[in-house]
Amino acid sequence: MKLEIRKGLSRKGNGGAHHHTAVTKPSDAELFIFRTHLENLSRQSKNARILIIGSSPELRELAARLNIHATVVANDLEVIERTTKLMGKKSSIEEWLEGDIIALPLKKASFDMIFGDHVLSDVSPFNKERFYARMKEILKKDGSVVIRSLVFKKTARPFENRVSKYFKIVEKKFAKEGVFAEYFPIYSMKPK
């Protein structure tokens, strides 16, 4: 399998480059799912606000193209800055925050949508419940969460059971092709 390495990305503390591979990069089909959610949100509200957990340039560029105000949260501002260089369209209304959503002073019910791409693996198992509760708290009552994560068959049911305490899973799609297709579901969820 050929891996695509995007040069210029670094992550403090790991002693080397952060590699965004073809396996983890959202496919066109996956980006279409995220874009569809953003387009629907854009039609519903001209002042929509989204939270993007992580610095995924692909998701950020989708928001920029639709002129949607995005708040990007990542553990390192340098990573956000570096991934911004990978974006074809940059946003003038994007806000950056360093830290995690559990600890940051984000207002309750302040986001219409929360996007995440491979963020669950960055959350400690001891903080998963707090992470889900915090997402629900900062999401508007009629908001939604769209998250793509690496979920193996044997861990899918426990993940879905845990997250369903806070959210109703509205849709689960597999858009990745090939050998890794079954491991990258995109969950669309509404708060309970």
Q: What is the pLDDT of residues 103-155, one digit of tens each?
A: 999 999 999 999 998 887 788 889 999 999 999 999 999 999 999 877 766 67
Reading the block at residue 173, the tokens are 């799609």
- Sketch the domain layout of the chain as residue ranges: 28-191
Burial class (CB in 10 A: 0-12, 13-18, 19+), 53: buried
Question: For residue 84, what are the contacts with CB-CB under 8 A and spacing of at least 6?
Answer: 57, 60, 90
- How far CA 170 is from CA of 99, 167, 189, in Å, comes to 29, 9, 5
Q: pLDDT tens-digit profile of 15-42?
A: 333 334 555 788 888 899 999 999 999 9
* DSSP secondary structure code for residue 119 in this structure: -
Q: What are phi and psi of 70, to 5 degrees?
A: -120, 135
Six-digit token pair at 133?
A: 């509760």
Phi, psi dihedral angles at 66 (to 5 degrees): -95, 5
Q: Is the pLDDT of residue 161 over 50?
A: yes
CATH of domain 28-191: 3.40.50.150
Per DSSP, the three-state class of 130 is helix
**Structure confidence at residue 159 (pLDDT):** 83
The predicted model gives 59-82 an average pLDDT of: 94
How confident is the model at residue 120, as a pLDDT?
79
In angstroms, the CA 111 to CA 50 distance is 5
For residues 55 and 6, the answer to whether their CB atoms sit within 8 Å is no
